[in-house]
Structure formats: C-alpha cells, structure tokens
Amino acid sequence: MQKIGVFVCHCGTNIAATVDVKKVVELVRYEPGVVFADDYMYMCSEAGQEKIIEAIKEYGLTGLVICSCSPRMHEKTFRACAEKAGLNPYMVEVANIREQCSWIHKDKEEATKKAVILARAAIAKVNLNTPLQEGESPVTKRALVIGGGIAGIQTALDIADAGYEVDIVEKEPSIGGRMSQFDKTFPTLDCASCILTPKMVEVNQHPNITLYTYSEVEKVSGYVGNFDVDIRKKARSVDFGKCTGCGECQTKGPLGKIGNIPSEFDRGLKNRPAIYMPFAQAVPAVPVIDRENCTYFKTGKCGVCAKICPSKAVDYEQQDEIVTVKYGAIVVATGFDIINLDKYGEYAYNECPDVITSIELERLMNAAGPTGGHLERMSDHKAPKEIVFIQCVGSRCDDDKGKPYCSKVCCMYTAKHAMLIKDHWPDTNITVFYIDVRTPGKNFDEFYRRAVEQYHVNYIKGQVGKVKPQPDGSIIVQAADLLDGKQINKKCDMVVLAAAIEPNPGVRKIATMLTASIDNNNFLTEAHAKLRPVESPTAGIFLSGMAQGPKDIPETVSQAGAAAVKVVGLLAKDKLKTNPCTAQCDTLLCNGCSTCANVCPYGAITYEDVQVNDHGLRETRRVAQVNVALCQGCGACTSACPSGAMDLQGFSNRQITTEVDAICR
C-alpha cells in the first residue's frame, strides 16, 4: 500500500476563488492510500516545494498527488521536487484543477466536487504507480549517410566539419547524384558542376569522411545511438589502391571509348563502355566494370582493359565485400528519380526520340553532354526551332497513373531551360503548356517573369491531350487553351516533358530496413510535419533532401544542414536518456502474434524465442520484446494487444481503468 500525500494548491485565487481548497483537502484525506493532505497558496513556489519535501520525509510518503495547474505546466517541477526528497519522480501525479476545473467553472460547489473527483482519480492512479527509472544507452560517435547526392554530401560535410566521423554509402560508382547531371541551376543560372564538384572533392579529401561508392546498405539492426549496418561493397573489378584514374582502360575496349551500353549518367542519350567512370569529374576517379555487360565476364574472352592498364589495377577476381560498421545516427538522402513514362502513351515519349524529358534536356545542353552542349534533335541532329514544354506530366494527377503531389521544381527549371535556349539560340520559339505556374521562393517569380517578359516565352494555360509525331519529322501537340477556350494544334520539332519526380525506388527497401515510415508516395515521413521536419519518427533516423519530399537545391542544402545539426546534437551526447514511460511486454501473457509490431511506428518491437516458466510450465515461446531506446511511449501497441500482455509504464491498463472507476464512482 502506498503512503500518499495530497497537496492542494490555491494558485493565489486562480484555484481558490472557485474551488473550496480546504474542503478538497478534507474530502480526499480518507481516500485509500492517503496519509497526508494539505493545501498551500503556491505549491510550485520554493516554500510550497519545501512543504512537499518536508512531508515526504516526515510521513515517509511513497506517492504524491498535486492538485494544481496542468501537468503540462508543472509536472516536471514537482517530479524534480520529489526527486530532491529521494522519491522516485514517477511517483507523482498531478490533478489538473486549474485549467480543467477552476478556470472553466463558475459554481463553487460544482467546481469543488469536480476537483475532488479529479483528485480521487489521481490518488487511485498513484496507488498503482511504480518507480520508473530513466534508462541510458551509449552513443556510437559515427554517422551514416545513405546517398551521395548534394543532400548526402552536404549533410556529411556538415557532420564531418563538426568533428564527427561520417560514412557515405552511394550505390552508383561516383557521388554527385542528380545535381551532377544538371547543366545550370535556377534562379541564378550558375553552372551545376562548378558549384558541386568542389564539394565532391572536399568529401573525398575530408579526414572525417569515408566513402563507400558502388555500395549498398544490406542490413540494419540496432537502434538510436547503436546501429549495426552491413554495407555491401560491390566488386568494382578495379583495385582502388593501384588505379590512378588515367582513363586509359576506357579507350581501348571492344568498341573503344564509345562503347555500346546506354550511359545511365547521360540518360541513354550516349553510350559508354563496360569499364567506365560515369562522368569525367567522378569521385572517386576510379572506373568500375559493369559485369553484366562486360565481354570478359560474359564470355571469358577479351581482357583488353587489364592488358592496357598501366598500373595493373584491373582485377577480374574481385569479390563483393560486406563490411559491418557501427553508427549512432543514420541520414537517409536517397534522392529522387523521374517517373517512368510508359503509362503516358499520349506523349509519345517511347515512340519519338525528339520527345525528351527535362533531365535529358539538361544533358543535351551540357557542354560535357552527348552533344557537347549543342541542342539538337536526337532523330536528325538538327537544331530545333520550335520547342514545346509540357508541364505536370504525372504531377498533380488524381488518377492512379501519376502522382497526386506537385513536383515543385518543374515550373522553375522549365523557365530556366526556356531562357537558356533563348540565350544561346535566340531564333528558337518556345511554348510552355502549364496548368498553374508555381513560383514561390526568393527571386523565383522574378525569374519566371523574365522568361515571359524579356524572353517572350509563350506560356499557355492548357492541358495537352496528345503528342503526335509526324512522318516529316515534325511533331504536332494537341492541346486545349483553357483561357481562350480554343483547341490548339501546335507544330514543333521538339517536346520536353516535365515528368513528375518520385523518391528513388530503392528507398522502400531502405525504409523497411530502418523501420522508418514512408507515406503513400514512398516519401519518408517526418517525426512531425512542422516541428520535426528532418527527423524520422524512428529515433536516430534523419531525413535529407528529396527522399523526404520534392524540393530544390537550396532547400535541399538547408535541410541537409538541419539534418546534420540534429545528428551532431545526437552524437555530441555520451549517453542517451530514455523515456521510462515505455511499453513493456508481459512475456507470460504474450501470444507472439505480432499485432503490436504491426502498429508500432518506431519499429521498437521485435520477437524473440525465450524460455518461460509459466507457473511451472516450462516452454519456449515467441514473445514480443520492446526496445526501450526506440519506444516513445505512444501506447498504440497496448490497445492492439488482445491479451493485455503489452502495457505502458506510467499509463498502464490498470492505472487508466482505475482512473475511470474513480471518476465514475
């Protein structure tokens, strides 16, 4: 049986004016478990707290009920006060008789009655309270960044600069990501590689950063502060130590420098050989052999690259390697891709080489791209004179074909493309079919207006019904002009599609490994959309870049920095304090049915086969185990559990039931 002290606060007149405080004291004095009850003007004041401490010592109190303002206000205060007197802070319950009683009721008798009932509920609860201990878990001072695009690069640099070790895992042979494919960036039109390459080099040279390129995360276990991650380093077939990055190997293969494999980097607009570096500024500057397409790996014959390599770096015998590394925090920066356009037959993308995506246009306009920066039609290599841009291809769709969201960057990059084309080839006519032009952002609307006003880009609010390639090589775009209400048949010689962006398809697998939640569109979910936008609900997992949602480069970079700060904030701690109000499984009642794990937003519940002794019956059972470092104490599992095995400390089934009983008494 507890020895409970009840302390009723007047809060000046805030409570006392409507609640007869003395009467409350008299009426709760005889509740089961109560050994002491008193009132005071300001319970939270130093004198008030002193009173509590004295009573704890004098009466050997084991539990406290403070009838005062909201626990959201002073629960911490009173818990600290209890702790000072040597009482476990979780043996304190607060009855909210100010915000939820005296302030909203006028009739003193009624308010007093209610205050007594609220106090009784709190007393009944404290009778079932048990001392809870905050747990501690150590922190591995190393972070993992998954994805080596601009988001991952920036996050890694910021963490590394703060003095912590960080590893980047990138599945491609080089870091750089999508940004390295871009030509110029809006709204300043500076060259993407000019601003990105220095950062890539910095990453490569940073003493705190380890790069795992051509590598993938294979398995994740553990929890915040203590993740164990298996990284698969795919066989590069080129010895990192020996290769000097001279590039000789890529020139003399079966098809020389041209190769016959569509280059991923150039979006298939150009070919590459089987041994390749994706692009000239690749980091690391070490080629890989694409084994699926290599003649040697396919037929056992060839071996030319090995013969010509001056440093004998080519190693056909190399094997995939799995390294296991411990991390304290993980940042997901897996970025995006554009949607597959197979479902959009009306745009003739698969049919006509002159219907291209915006990202292909980036490559076509890039000096290092397949055409050396000359904008030309892929069909006849002639310069296009009439170009149509189609917006929202698969964005803002209400059917199953596309995505319901706005891809956010298309309006801006289309204006950028239009202006760049007009700058280089002023005699080109450009028409943009849009649904809405969205330009919120610093200098964004000015940028768009320049395209319309200075460059005379023809913006038509209208939806494109069909893109029809013509036998003469031209293309007719059928559209409705929504403002004029007219049907348009626009003849042109190139069509550029602003295809919707989507999270990198690999993110689903990674999210599952990390037990990080993702939304219906496969974007990672934030812990709180407004207040914790760079954290995943799963503790220790952070979000950076497009993996979380569509955003442009400056936003990505700022989010990357924010994620880095959160990581640093975590790594700076030697120990993590864990919330003691966590779920707990009664292994004797647990069925091992996994229902609780299905509703846990934090992946805090795992299953283990344990040996139990159920009143003398010994057997091995599959039971739930709660990782208290991950559990945030929401209690979703407790309501899902049919047998009542899963319970929440501090808000246990019996505690809440007894509160209900006390109120209904």
Q: Which of residues 636-665 bind another protein (CB under 8 A)?
A: 636, 638-640, 642-645, 647-648, 651-654, 656-661, 663-665
Task: Measure CA of the first residue to CA of the last residue in the chain; give whole Å.
Answer: 21
**CB contact set of 315 (below 8 Å; sequence gap of 6+):** 237, 238, 239
Residue 192 or 628 having the CB closest to another protein:
628
User: DSSP assignment of 393-461, as one string?
Assistant: ESSS-SSSSS-SS--SSHHHHHHHHHHHHHHH-TT-EEEEEES-----STTHHHHHHHHHHTS--EEEE
Q: Are 69 and 38 in contact (CB under 8 A)?
A: no
Q: Is 347 helix (H, G, I), strand (E, B) or coil?
A: helix
To the nearest whole angstrom, how small is the minimum distance from the Cβ of residue 637 to another protein? 9
One-letter identity of residue 200:
M
Compute the half-sphere exposure of residue 213: CA atoms within 13 Å on the CB side of its CA: 24
Q: Given the complex with another protein, which of 194 and 663 has the nearer CB atom? A: 663
Residue entry with tokens 């996994």: 594
- CA distance linking residue 541 with residue 526, whole number of Å: 10
124 or 421, CB closer to another protein? 124
603 counts as binding another protein under rule CB under 8 A: no
CB of 312 to another protein, least distance (A): 51
Q: Which stretch binds another protein (CB under 8 A): 40-48, 69-77, 192-200, 303-311?
A: 69-77
Quick one: CA dihedral 569, 574, 580, 585, positive or negative?
A: positive
Q: Indicate the residue among 72 and 575 with the shorter CB distance to another protein.
A: 72
Q: Quick count: other Cβ atoms within 10 Å of Cβ 142?
A: 19
- Closest distance of CB 624 from another protein, Å: 11
With contacts defined by CB under 8 A, name the span among 305-313, 356-364, 390-398, 611-619 that binds another protein: 611-619
Min dist CB 272 to another protein, Å, is: 40
What minimum distance in Å lies between the beta carbon of 223 and another protein? 16
> With respect to another protein, which residue has the nearer C-beta, 166 or 583?
583
Interacting residues with another protein between 510 and 529 (CB under 8 A) = 517, 520, 525, 527-529
- Is 632 one of the binding residues for another protein (CB under 8 A)? yes
257 near another protein, judged by CB under 8 A = no
> Using CB atoms within 10 A of its CB, is residue 578 exposed (0-12), middle (13-18) or buried (19+)?
buried
Q: Which of 101, 338, 511, 546 binds another protein (CB under 8 A)?
A: 101
Q: Is 107 a residue that touches another protein (CB under 8 A)?
A: yes
Q: Which stretch binds another protein (CB under 8 A): 326-334, 346-354, 384-392, 628-636?
A: 628-636
Q: Provide the residue type at 93 as one letter.
A: E
Among 9, 44, 117, 166, interactor with another protein by CB under 8 A: 117
Q: How far is the CB of 287 from another protein (least distance, A)?
A: 42
> How many residues comprise the chain?
665
Amino acid at 497: L
Q: Are 7 and 65 in contact (CB under 8 A)?
A: yes
Binding of another protein at residue 584 (CB under 8 A)? Answer: no
Any contact of residue 625 with another protein (CB under 8 A)?
Answer: no
**Bridge-partner residues for 600, per DSSP?**
none
Q: Which stretch binds another protein (CB under 8 A): 408-416, 459-467, 482-490, 587-595?
A: 587-595
Quote the tokens at residue 229: 């991650």
Please state the closest distance from residue 51 (CB atom) to another protein, in A: 13
Nearer residue to another protein within complex by CB, 88 or 653: 653
DSSP string, 203-237: HHH-TTEEEE-SEEEEEEEEETTEEEEEEEE---S
With 0-12 / 13-18 / 19 or more C-beta atoms within 10 angstroms meaning exposed / middle / buried, residue 636 is middle
The residue from 248, 252, 586, 606 that contacts another protein (CB under 8 A) is 586
Query: Closer CB to another protein, residue 512 or residue 558?
Result: 512
What is the C-alpha separation between 224 and 175, in angstroms, rounded? Answer: 26
Is 537 a binding residue for another protein by CB under 8 A? The answer is yes
3-state secondary structure of 117: helix
The residue (of 111 and 553) whose beta carbon lies closer to another protein is 111
Q: Give CA–CA dist 256/270, Å, rounded.
A: 14
Report the nearest approach of another protein to the CB of residue 581 (Å). Answer: 7
**Among 117-125, 154-162, 239-247, 392-400, which window interacts with another protein (CB under 8 A)?**
117-125
Q: How far is the CB of 250 from another protein (least distance, A)?
A: 46
Per CB under 8 A, the list member of 5, 63, 71, 550 interacting with another protein is: 71
Burial class of residue 111, CB neighbours in 10 A (0-12, 13-18, 19+): buried
d(CA 408, CA 435): 13
Among 17, 41, 195, 599, which residue interacts with another protein (rule: CB under 8 A)?
599
Q: Which residues pair with 5 in a beta bridge?
A: 36, 64
Token output for 175: 């870091």
Q: Which stretch binds another protein (CB under 8 A): 147-155, 309-317, 367-375, 583-591?
A: 583-591
Q: Which of residues 301-320 bind another protein (CB under 8 A)?
A: none
Question: Which residues between 6 and 35 bind another protein (CB under 8 A)?
Answer: 27, 29-30, 32, 35
